[in-house]
Amino acid sequence: MCLSAPVSFVAAAALVPTGAYTVSRAFRFDRRFLALAALPVLFGLQQYFEGMVWLAGAAGDPASLAGNSLAYMFFAWIAWPVWVPISGLFVETGGRRLLYLAFVIGGAMLGGLLYVPYFAHDGWLAIRFLERAIVYDTTELLDFIMAREFTYGIYVFFVVTPLLISRDRHVRVFGLLIAGVLAVTYAFFQYAHISVFCFGGALASLYLVFAILQKRDAAVRSSV
């Protein structure tokens, strides 16, 4: 994230075990929420890789910088537009599952278009270090046919909409938190939007701990 390598590693150290605990609770009390409960783990891994990006930049190690940057962007471009709709797919029932399946397919197609070209074109993923931020200067394949704002709008659609239209109240609240992070990022941190948005999403994912514990309490009450 922005700030420093230690902050990224602390975030990773907090998110991964917290997410593992959330997954264990979801597995026991409501397995429909397993994929959603795993989000803090994924965010934690992403923060770990950003910490490694900081270290690689400080060490002047271009090979490590490239590898860890690609790992970080995998979560940004592939994991989120695919995993979030998959999470909703498991939570929903009936015909709405087909809608979420469409989100999964669309998110995977968009993510592939954004991420895969990095492996074929040197310089399409460039890293700049500011005093307290990492800037991911990217060239995207879709830049040749549409403005970057439209690309990001489609990305936000696939990440946020599946949360906001969920029948589950906690999933909708999480979607509102992600939308709030997006608004703050757009308003104040456009210069490092990828890094800031992903870190803000990581913090927002801690709400899922509360949500899964609520599911646990409801399951306990219903069994009494």
Give residue-wise pLDDT tens across range 111-150: 999 999 999 898 899 999 988 888 888 899 999 999 988 9
Query: Residue 223: what pLDDT?
Result: 56
Q: Which domain holds residue 27?
A: 5-223
Q: What percent of the chain has pLDDT over 90?
A: 48
| 60 backbone φψ class: left, alpha, beta (φ>0; ψ -120 to 50) | left
Round to the nearest angstrom and report the end-to-end CA distance of the chain.
44
Query: Residue 131: what pLDDT?
Result: 81
E strand map for 65-223: 125-130, 133-138
Instruction: Categorize the per-residue pLDDT at 191 as very low, low, confident or very high, splitting at 50, 70 and 90.
Output: low
| 94 backbone φψ class: left, alpha, beta (φ>0; ψ -120 to 50) | left
Query: Residue 188: what pLDDT?
Result: 65
C-alpha span between 40 and 208 (Å, rounded): 8
Structural domain count, the chain:
1
Give residue-wise pLDDT tens across range 146-185: 998 899 899 989 999 999 999 989 899 988 988 888 888 7
Instruction: Categorize the per-residue pLDDT at 221 as very low, low, confident or very high, splitting at 50, 70 and 90.
Output: low
